[in-house]
């Protein structure tokens, strides 16, 4: 992956990234942008899986006032927002068929029109698309345009993270720096990271790093903490204890320590603390009530 990024990052080629969910397609897209001549321009991510058929055009290309019910003012889309930089289209295989020809024109000419307008606009963008869908099957079924896929001239398939051993260390280092973390993994903890098979791919790895950053003490992340974080991921979504039953002192103490650490890392921002702990805000507030009566913590 590193060799691919170094080779194609500085080009203006439109790129299609393939691979299983969580394999790091978005992570690679951002690296490609940072290595490009457009690095000082915007990096604009857009998930195509959240499009509705009727609003896909407006989200991508923008709309003018009155273009549809509720359009009280003109608004640019992500294509304009990414001008001079990179537009990253995640879940590209979910792009509605009716929009595909418009996007093909954009890739071929740089031209587009906002929804409800006949005025032709231009946007100088580089497109990096990503999907885990088999586009060959989608093309055969008439669900995706072959000529649109062909315009994404460079394709790269990300293998599972377990097959990218040395890259794990680079991902960890980069993620710690990007988050301003004042901690590091011990040598045996790094060995544990490299030996894990990562069924959840890069997404699971980043979740493990997040957990370790929140709970770590004294700037060091030891082997046992990595083990704990991996076990937490394998259990799946965290299960909130039955608050009506007798408390488990060990569980309560662990959660209390994590909560304090997360709030400190987040500078007291409770929404950010909830994100670090991978819980929603209502769960965080319940824990504050349970352990501190919502008094300020740390």
Examine the domain organization and report whether 211 and 190 are in the same domain. yes
What is the count of structural domains for the chain? 3
The residue range of the domain holding 278 is 249-292
Per-residue pLDDT of the chain (298 residues; tens, 9 = 90+): 778 889 999 999 999 999 888 888 998 999 999 999 999 999 999 999 877 766 788 899 999 998 887 788 999 999 999 999 999 999 999 999 889 999 999 999 999 999 999 999 999 999 999 999 999 999 999 999 999 999 998 999 988 888 877 789 989 998 898 888 888 999 999 989 988 988 888 888 988 998 898 888 788 899 989 988 888 776 543 444 433 333 444 356 667 767 776 776 566 778 877 776 768 888 888 888 777 665 444 4
Unique residue bearing structure tokens 């082997």:
223
> Does residue 131 fall inside a structural domain?
yes
Global pTM value: 0.71
- Biggest distance spanned by C-alpha atoms of the chain: 67
Identify the domain boundary among 157, 183, 216: 157
Examine the domain organization and report whether 211 and 140 are in the same domain. no
> Does residue 297 fall inside a structural domain?
no
> Does residue 109 fall inside a structural domain?
yes
Examine the domain organization and report whether 224 and 94 are in the same domain. no
Examine the domain organization and report whether 81 and 204 are in the same domain. no
Examine the domain organization and report whether 152 and 10 are in the same domain. yes
> What is the CATH number for 198?
1.10.8.60
> Does residue 276 fall inside a structural domain?
yes
> Does residue 50 fall inside a structural domain?
yes
Examine the domain organization and report whether 95 and 69 are in the same domain. yes
Examine the domain organization and report whether 22 and 114 are in the same domain. yes
Examine the domain organization and report whether 6 and 127 are in the same domain. yes
Examine the domain organization and report whether 122 and 267 are in the same domain. no
Which strands make up the sheet holding 15-18, listed edge to edge? 43-47, 86-90, 126-131, 15-18, 154-157
Which pairs from 49-56 meet CB under 8 Å and 24+ separation?
A: 49/90, 49/91, 49/94, 51/94, 51/95, 51/96, 51/99, 53/96, 53/98, 56/95, 56/96, 56/98, 56/99
> What is the CATH number for 84?
3.40.50.300
Examine the domain organization and report whether 147 and 8 are in the same domain. yes
Identify the domain boundary among 122, 157, 192: 157
> What is the CATH number for 277?
1.10.10
Examine the domain organization and report whether 166 and 153 are in the same domain. no
Residue 59 and residue 81 in contact, taking contact as beta carbons nearer than 8 Å: no
Examine the domain organization and report whether 145 and 91 are in the same domain. yes
Identify the domain boundary among 139, 157, 175: 157
Which residues is 284 bridged to in the sheet?
none
> Does residue 191 fall inside a structural domain?
yes
């Amino acid at each position: 992956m590193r060799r691919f990024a170094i080779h194609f990052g500085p080009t203006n080629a439109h790129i299609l990234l393939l691979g299983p969910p969580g394999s790091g397609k978005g992570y690679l897209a951002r690296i490609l942008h940072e290595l490009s001549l457009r690095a000082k321009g915007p990096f604009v991510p857009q998930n195509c899986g959240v499009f509705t058929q009727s609003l896909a055009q407006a989200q991508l290309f923008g709309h003018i006032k009155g273009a549809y019910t509720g359009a009280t003012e003109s608004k640019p889309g992500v294509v304009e927002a990414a001008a001079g930089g990179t537009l990253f289209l995640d879940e590209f295989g979910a792009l509605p068929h009716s929009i595909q020809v418009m996007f093909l024109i954009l890739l071929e000419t740089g031209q587009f029109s906002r929804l409800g307008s006949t005025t032709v606009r231009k946007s100088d963008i580089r497109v990096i698309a990503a999907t885990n869908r088999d586009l060959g099957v989608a093309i055969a079924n008439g669900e995706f345009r072959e000529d649109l896929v062909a315009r994404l001239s460079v394709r790269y398939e990300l293998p599972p993270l377990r097959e990218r051993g040395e890259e794990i260390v680079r991902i960890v280092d980069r993620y710690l720096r990007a988050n301003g973390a004042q901690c590091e993994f011990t040598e045996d903890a790094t060995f544990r990271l490299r030996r894990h098979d990562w069924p959840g791919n890069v997404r699971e790895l980043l979740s493990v790093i997040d957990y370790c950053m929140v709970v770590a003490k004294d700037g060091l992340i030891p082997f046992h903490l990595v083990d704990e974080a991996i076990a937490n991921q394998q259990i799946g979504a965290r299960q909130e204890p039955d608050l009506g039953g007798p408390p488990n002192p060990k569980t309560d103490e662990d959660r209390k320590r994590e909560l304090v650490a997360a709030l400190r890392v987040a500078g007291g921002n409770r929404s950010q603390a909830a994100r670090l702990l991978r819980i929603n805000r209502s769960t965080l507030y319940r824990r504050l009530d349970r352990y501190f009566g919502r008094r300020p913590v740390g």
